[in-house]
Amino acid sequence: MTAAAIRLDRPLTVSTLVAVARGAPVVLGPAARARVAAAHDLVRAIIDEGVPAYGINTGVGALVDRAVEPALQCRLSRQLVMSHACGVGAPLPDAHVRAIIAAQVNNLAHGFSGTRVAVVDGLIALLNHDVVPEVPAGGSVGYLAHMAHIALVLIGEGHARVAGERLSGAAALARAGLAPLVLEAKEGLSLINGAPCATGLGALALAQARGAVTAADAIAALTFEVLGGNLAAFDAELLGLRRSPGIAETGAAMTAWLAGSTHLAQTGARLQDPLSLRAIPQVHGGVRDALDHVAGMIDAELASVTDNPVVLGTPEHPRAGSQAHAVAAGLAMALDHLAIVTAHVGMLSERRIDRLVNPLVSGLPAFLATAAGVSSGFMIAQYSAAALVGENRRLAAPASLDGGITSGLQEDYLSHQTPAALKALALIANVQAILGIELAAAAQAHDIAVPAAARAPGTARLHAHVRATIAPYTDDRPMHDVMAAGADLVRAGLPAVAKR
């Protein structure tokens, strides 16, 4: 790995977690290492003194009233991993799995869980040797299942990918020069517990959502220019009447993208544009403000302990505290909010696509086709965008309200934080696809209606970036390929707007 190592002594943040998910290695700092070791001493003291402690010397869930004698406590750890590894469906992508592992390392490193340092080092070794456990995407109402599949690989079970090759857990560890762990008391429970799944996946969703709204500014500028919008929509004084950092940021970005456009100077601007053009600052800015709130929630989650039970006190007076911190209800609500607000980016983009291709309002050739009648151009691409908007409306339904009852009425409230994160990621992928369609359509419209010399320097650079990958469309290849290439450009990140 060439990325700089993330030193874990204090809690991760959204940005550092995302860096780990994307390949940065991790180093456990001495302060964190000392906290983990001290917490393990407390677990040993709890066992030695027979202090009642959930999941250490009792069963879990509805089996909380079943005592587990010391000779069976290590077996309990292993069997918890085995029984809870019940995910279903296709495996998560590598970055998603790495994000979950990073969040769990962060959780254990707070020093309230009681695992050995060797367990934390084992998780870090998976990251640093790029051993990616095979984790089915579905089958979780909030936590447990995803981390159980990761823990399987730590003990030499399950499956993992190494350099793209699927191996057994034992073979994957051996390929990386690692040995399976034999879990001790509480370690199985700590490995599967907490909220690392939703926290890690939520951090990735947030990063992708922020990237999408940044791309949406650039793409909207292309569309705004070709449709001859009124720049008064981005007037800083007018926008400042609504107190919103996001609106101010969006207005400044749009102004920068469109600065120097002689095409806009030459077109007779309408007194008031349709809302899909005029409300870009209010919509994109509102999304930005909401995402800032979600970022605060995820950073707070990373700074929090979400294991159950936690261990406290001293080796002379140890105690285990049972609570419900693994129930990340606030995080679930925040991730539902993230999905809803990001869906608005796609909604507005689809409306702009329609204005580009609709000859009733665009002033451009019907559907941007080169020979209308023989050629359909971007006609059906707009259908695809509308379909994705509809799908996002369904995906934006709040997972946190799904409810449900598990574990023999012991767990009779479910916040569904991991499903909230997973559907947010699916929704954002749809928004990226919608923006990719608009990007390709807006570039096509520029070819037709905006001479190169009349473009703003920013939009000219963006148009050239698109044309380096996507050729003008003449119904000469499947439109799917054009749309997919546009989405790829959005996901990869578009050129930044020049600073003024």
Element (H, E) at 240: none
Q: From residue 42, how far is each of 51, 112, 113, 313, 371 by CA, in Å?
A: 11, 9, 9, 8, 76
Closest CA to 128 of 100, 157, 98, 152: 98
The DSSP code for 367 is G
Contact between 354 and 389 under an 8 Å Cβ cutoff? The reply is no
DSSP secondary structure string, 415-440? Answer: --HHHHHHHHHHHHHHHHHHHHHHHH
Element (H, E) at 28: strand 26-28
CA distance 316 to 185: 19
The DSSP code for 176 is T
Q: Which two tokens stand for residue 248?
A: 């101010």
Contact between 152 and 169 under an 8 Å Cβ cutoff? The reply is yes
Q: 492: which residues sit within 8 A by CB, 6+ positions away? A: none
CA distance 324 to 308: 7
The DSSP code for 494 is P
Q: Using N-to-C axis directions, what is the helix angle for 329-357 and 417-449, rounded to 10°?
A: 20
The DSSP code for 314 is -
CA distance 413 to 400: 10
Q: Which two tokens stand for residue 145?
A: 């299942």
CB environment 140-156: b (16+ within 10 A), e (fewer): bbbbbbbbbbbbbbbbb
Residue 54 falls in the annotated catalytic set: yes
| Options 54, 143, 413, 473, the catalytic residue | 54
CA distance 260 to 253: 14
Contact between 54 and 38 under an 8 Å Cβ cutoff? The reply is no
CA distance 408 to 415: 17
How many helices (H) and strands (E) would you count in the chain? 20, 9
Residue 88 in 3-state DSSP? strand
CA distance 115 to 290: 36
Q: Which two tokens stand for residue 485?
A: 């290439």
First CA to last CA distance, the chain:
36
Give the catalytic positions in this structure.
54
